Amino acid sequence: MSGDGNHAKRAKDGKNDSHASHDSQPSHEQLLPQRGDYRTLLSFQKAEIVYDLTFRFAHKHLAKGDRTIDQMIQSARSGKKNILEGSKASITSRETEIKLTNVARASLEELLDDYRDYLRARDLKIWEKDSKEAQYVRKLGRKTQQTYEDYREFVEIICNG
């Protein structure tokens, strides 16, 4: 009868006799699914493309010594690195992952505003959300794995044309 008492205790705890030794300690993977492979994240891939594009753009189109060069590159870098750090932190803390993702978002938003400032100050066209250029870039962005090379030709035509 003592076995029945143990069975009742295990049942109360959500365990049964046949799996008692396996279920008494849930594995780390069951509690927090293994993550941290940031290179597979589409957000990281796009942030890396934004960094590569920004690095080239800033050095080609901004005056040497202009502080905006460093600011734009650092915003792009921060966006990319905070996605990486958030993904790695997700293994142990969802809260940290969310905080770092929000830092990445804020950095990339700051960079977007720098690009808008550049265009506005030079009386250049700012694409509407549904412009043919914006639609083309979104179409390019539908691939599952992406690198700067996927955008190189388009960027060179836009930047030189």
How would DSSP label each residue in 44-79? HHHHHHHHHHHHHHHHHHS-TT-HHHHHHHHHHHHH
pLDDT at 46 over 50: yes
Mean pLDDT confidence for 134-144:
81
Alpha-carbon distance 115 to 23, whole Å? 54
CA 38 to chain centre: 8
98 within domain boundaries: yes
pLDDT at 8 over 80: no
Helix, strand, coil fractions of the chain, as percent rounded to 5: 75, 0, 25
- Is pLDDT larger for residue 102 or for residue 155? 102
pLDDT at 21 over 80: no
Alpha-carbon distance 129 to 21, whole Å? 57
Q: What is the pLDDT of residue 115?
A: 96
Half-sphere exposure of 52 toward its Cβ, with a 13 Å CA cutoff? 15
The band of 29, judged by pLDDT with boundaries at 50, 70 and 90, is: very low
pLDDT at 42 over 70: yes
Range of the domain at 83: 38-160
Q: Which two tokens stand for residue 47?
A: 């942030």
Using CA atoms, how far residue 151 sits from 50, 104, 134, 147, in Å, is: 10, 22, 13, 8
Q: What is the pLDDT of residue 51?
A: 96
31 within domain boundaries: no
Total domain count, the chain: 1
- Is pLDDT larger for residue 136 or for residue 99? 99
Q: What is the pLDDT of residue 56?
A: 93
Q: What is the pLDDT of residue 34?
A: 55
95 within domain boundaries: yes
Percent of the chain with pLDDT over 70: 75
Q: What is the pLDDT of residue 23?
A: 44
* Cβ proximity of 108 and 77 under 8 Å: no
87 within domain boundaries: yes
Q: What is the pLDDT of residue 152?
A: 83
32 within domain boundaries: no
19 within domain boundaries: no
Q: Which CATH number does the domain housing residue 116 bear?
A: 1.20.1440
16 within domain boundaries: no
- How high does pLDDT run on average in the chain? 81
pLDDT at 24 over 50: no
43 SS3 class: helix
